[in-house]
Amino acid sequence: MKAILLSFSVILLSACNQQTISYKEISQRTNGSKDIVQEFAKQLKEKLQTAIKDGGALNAISVCNEQAPFIAKQLSEQSGWDIHRTSLKHRATKPDAWETTIMQSFEQKYADGDKFKRLFAQDVVEINNKPAFRYMQAIETKKICLLCHGESIAPELASKITELYPDDIATGFKLGSIRGAFSIVQYLD
């Protein structure tokens, strides 16, 4: 494991036109990203559960439509990082090329038996001629997700989803599958 991390560190040290990033910084940025993801997931889950309790599944749609982007914006402002969710079968935020590649690798790793706690990735890449640390972590499809993202969606929910997201392709998920991923961009100074 240490050899893999050391090798990864060397790759990152040589990435992005001489931009260097130490193993310590990789670790700090990765841990910070994991903390942000945990906070995002916690806040979103709490808001979804409250909305469903207060007004049923139809209320949950407004949480993902309005509250999830607000949570992402708040966490982005607090951290100075770009934080969002995306999916290969997206509803609102289409993945970029890097995110698509990473999520495809998550799907393969999951199919090969990897557990969700191992479905994350980090890299140093160039975005708009600026070096950036990128982090992604897979989102597991939970029971609460199936109301609006499952194989069988109630007609009133399906109608509201179509109204809010006319190009929606984020349905047909099964319990425990990969729903999408949290994605974070941290520009390097």
| Residue pLDDT, tens place only, 85-134 | 999 999 999 999 999 999 999 999 999 999 999 999 999 999 999 999 99
Name the pLDDT band for 19 (thresholds 50, 70, 90).
Answer: low
Helix, strand, coil in percent for the chain, rounding step 5: 55, 20, 30
| Residue pLDDT, tens place only, 54-66 | 999 999 998 999 9
Show the CA angle centred on residue 60, arms to residues 35 and 166, nearest 5°.
Answer: 105
pTM for the predicted model, two decimal places: 0.87
**Measured torsion, CA atoms of residues 40, 140, 150, 87, in degrees rounded to the nearest 10:** 70
- Collapsing DSSP states into helix, strand and coil, what is residue 183? strand
Q: Please list, in sequence order, all residues whose beta carbon lies within 8 angstroms of the beta carbon of residue 9, skipping any fewer than 6 positions away.
A: 22, 23, 26
Number of residues that make up the chain: 189
Go through the domains of the chain in sequence order and give each one's CATH number.
22-187 (3.30.450)
Give 61-64 contacts, CB < 8 A, sequence gap 24+. 61/148, 61/157, 61/160, 61/161, 61/164, 64/91, 64/148
